[in-house]
Every structure is written in structure tokens, then in C-alpha cells.
């Protein structure tokens, strides 16, 4: 679990001048967006991607939370201080429809007696329909600690500090047994896994394969290949391997991870794809060649 600590922030009077006036207007608009009057949410929302928050201990007064996601999805405020102890509150649920809820979600946590937050508290990427369980507890200096589940920490900070979703999946490379019709093992052949994603023309994507740090491997080599449209890039060597490519057409692209003939990698690995335009809104799709 990943924890984020927040503390109360004292409001300050703006300095006179046109620039500070514009900043005050921007702050007011952000406040209106995040803090509509009387818009506290309920705890019984249902849908395909459900967000819950559980208060693990009594909090200082006036702490609230809000959520925003793909296609201008926006939750009501949650009164964190007023929640019941250890009782998950289903405060927001997204429906999986033509306007996909998969992608980047922003969480805002702040003390409602002070100014609205100027930046997100946490950003995460959500793929398959699931329940995202958040936890809050007292933090230092009268603040709040926000804890995220480990599995939603799929993302990376790149391109000037902008977070883009990194869709990843875990599987294993191992020699494939060749059997006779009677089931006897007659030999082996290199393993080859193929994953697919929907790419957008003119997007720049980063495809990466790395050894799963939670498991062991033999330290061997693998081949990473990206193909689709006019793109056909390949890298072979010890992990990690990375390919950065610009997509020329909108459509389906293949990521292949396979064992070379010499010193092949054996063990669990992670394959991922990032979009510079944040234009990939669904997880990697394993083909039939991937061990399930």
C-alpha cells in the first residue's frame, strides 16, 4: 500500500495587481469545481469501476475528498471526517460505456476550512472493471494520510512532469514443451508471447519489458518487438528492453516478447506500454500465445 500525507494549509490574502487578480479568479473557479454547495456524496454507488474510501481512525475536522476521471467524470465531495469507522463508503462508481472510464483518475483531498487544492493529491490509472479501495487515517500535524492499493500504481511521471498511464501485465517466459500424440515430451521450442493494443496515429509510445522484481529468473536474453502499420522495431538483449516509436496509423499494434535461440530468458516478466498523448485507454490484450 502507498500512503500520502497531507496537512492543513492556511489561506493567504492575494497581493494586489492584475496577475494576482487572475490567479484569484482561477482559484475561485477551481474552488467552485471542487466544492459545490451541498454536494456531499452518498455511500451506496454501484457501477463497473467502484471507488470506496474507509476511515481507519477518527480524523481532524473538515477533511473532504473528491475524484475526477476520464470524459469529465466528477464525483461529489466526500465528508471524510463524518464517515463511520472501518465502514467502506462506495462514494463513486463509473459505468463502462462508449465513453470509457479506463485511464487516469485524479484524487483531491483537502481541509474544507481552507483553500481548494491547487494540484492533485494522487493520480492513478485504472483498467479493467474493479473496485478501487482507498483508506484514510490521521496524519502528522493535524493532517490526513491517504493510502492507495498497490495494484492501481500503474503509471509514470514523464514529459515535463505529466503523468501518463502505463498499461502493464505480468506473465512468464519458459521453454514450450513439444509433445507427441501420445503426450511424450520430444523436445522444446522458444516461448513467444504476443500482446495487442489500440494505437492512435501520430502518438509516440514507449514499450518496455523488464524482469518481475518479485520473482527470480536466469538472467538470460529476450527479444522485444513492436509491429503494426509501418512500425516494425525490435530489440534483443538482457532485460530491461525498451522501444520508443511514433505510430503512423490508428489501429491494432502487436507487442511480442520471445526467447532467442541463445541464452534465452526464463522467468516472470512485466510488459508495458505508455502513450505520450495518453491515448491508450485499455489494458494490453494477451493473445492465445500468452500463458494465462
pLDDT tens for 39-67 read 455 799 999 889 999 999 999 999 999 99
pLDDT tens for 129-166 read 678 899 999 988 888 898 887 665 444 444 444 445 66
> pLDDT higher for 121 or 180?
121
Q: What is the residue-averaged pLDDT of the chain?
A: 77
- Cis check: omega of the bond before 240, within 30 degrees of 0: yes
> pLDDT higher for 29 or 219?
219
Domains and CATH numbers, the chain: 2-151 (2.60.40), 162-286 (2.60.120.380)
On the question of pLDDT at 30 being above 50, the answer is no
Q: Sorting pLDDT into bands at 50, 70 and 90, what band is 15?
A: very low
pLDDT tens for 102-134 read 777 889 999 988 887 767 788 787 766 678 899
On the question of pLDDT at 84 being above 70, the answer is yes
3-state DSSP assignment of residue 266: coil
Q: In what order do the strands lie in the sheet with 285-286?
A: 231-238, 221-228, 251-258, 192-199, 285-286
| Percentage of the chain exceeding pLDDT 70 | 71
Residue 257: name the closest of 202, 203, 217 by CA.
217
183: left (phi over 0), alpha (psi -120 to 50) or beta: left
Give phi and psi for 21, each to the nearest 5.
-65, -40
In this structure, are residues 273 and 167 in contact, taking their beta carbons and an 8 Å threshold?
yes
Burial bucket for residue 288 (CB in 10 Å: 0-12, 13-18, 19+)? exposed
> pLDDT higher for 76 or 129?
76
In this structure, are residues 63 and 8 in contact, taking their beta carbons and an 8 Å threshold?
no
Residue 52: name the closest of 39, 40, 65, 63 by CA.
65
Q: Sorting pLDDT into bands at 50, 70 and 90, what band is 33?
A: very low
On the question of pLDDT at 17 being above 70, the answer is no
pLDDT of residue 54: 96
Question: For residue 254, how many other CB atoms are within 10 A of its CB?
Answer: 15
pLDDT of residue 190: 78
Would you give the DSSP letter of residue 104? Answer: E
Amino acid at each position: 500500500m502507498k500512503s500520502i500525507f497531507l496537512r492543513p494549509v492556511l489561506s493567504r490574502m492575494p497581493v494586489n495587481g492584475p496577475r494576482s487578480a487572475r490567479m484569484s479568479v482561477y482559484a475561485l473557479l477551481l474552488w467552485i469545481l471542487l466544492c459545490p454547495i451541498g454536494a456531499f456524496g452518498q455511500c451506496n454507488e454501484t457501477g463497473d469501476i467502484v471507488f470506496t474510501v474507509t476511515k481507519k481512525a477518527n480524523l481532524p475536522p473538515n477533511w473532504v475528498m473528491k475524484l475526477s476521471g476520464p470524459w469529465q467524470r466528477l464525483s461529489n465531495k466526500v465528508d471524510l471526517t463524518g464517515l463511520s469507522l472501518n465502514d467502506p463508503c462506495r462514494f463513486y462508481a463509473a459505468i463502462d460505456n462508449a465513453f470509457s472510464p479506463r485511464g487516469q483518475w485524479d484524487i483531491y483531498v483537502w481541509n474544507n476550512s481552507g483553500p481548494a487544492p491547487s494540484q492533485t493529491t494522487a493520480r492513478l490509472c485504472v483498467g479493467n472493471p474493479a473496485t478501487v479501495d482507498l483508506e484514510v487515517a490521521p496524519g502528522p500535524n493535524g493532517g490526513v494520510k491517504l493510502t492507495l492499493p498497490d495494484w492501481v500504481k500503474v503509471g509514470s511521471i514523464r514529459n515535463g512532469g505529466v503523468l501518463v498511464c502505463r498499461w502493464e501485465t505480468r506473465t512468464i517466459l519458459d521453454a514450450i514443451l513439444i509433445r507427441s500424440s501420445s503426450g511424450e515430451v520430444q523436445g522444446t521450442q522458444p516461448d513467444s508471447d504476443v500482446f495487442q493494443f489500440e494505437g492512435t496515429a501520430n502518438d509516440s509510445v514507449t514499450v518496455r519489458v523488464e524482469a518481475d522484481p518479485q520473482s527470480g529468473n536466469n538472467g538470460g536474453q529476450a527479444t522485444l518487438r513492436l509491429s503494426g502499420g509501418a512500425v516494425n522495431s525490435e530489440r534483443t538483449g538482457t532485460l530491461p528492453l525498451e522501444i520508443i516509436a511514433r505510430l503512423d496509423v490508428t489501429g491494432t499494434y502487436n507487442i511480442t516478447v520471445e526467447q532467442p535461440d541463445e541464452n534465452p530468458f526464463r522467468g516472470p516478466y512485466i510488459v508495458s506500454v505508455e502513450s505520450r498523448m495518453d491515448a491508450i485507454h485499455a489494458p494490453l490484450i494477451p493473445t492465445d500465445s500468452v500463458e494465462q
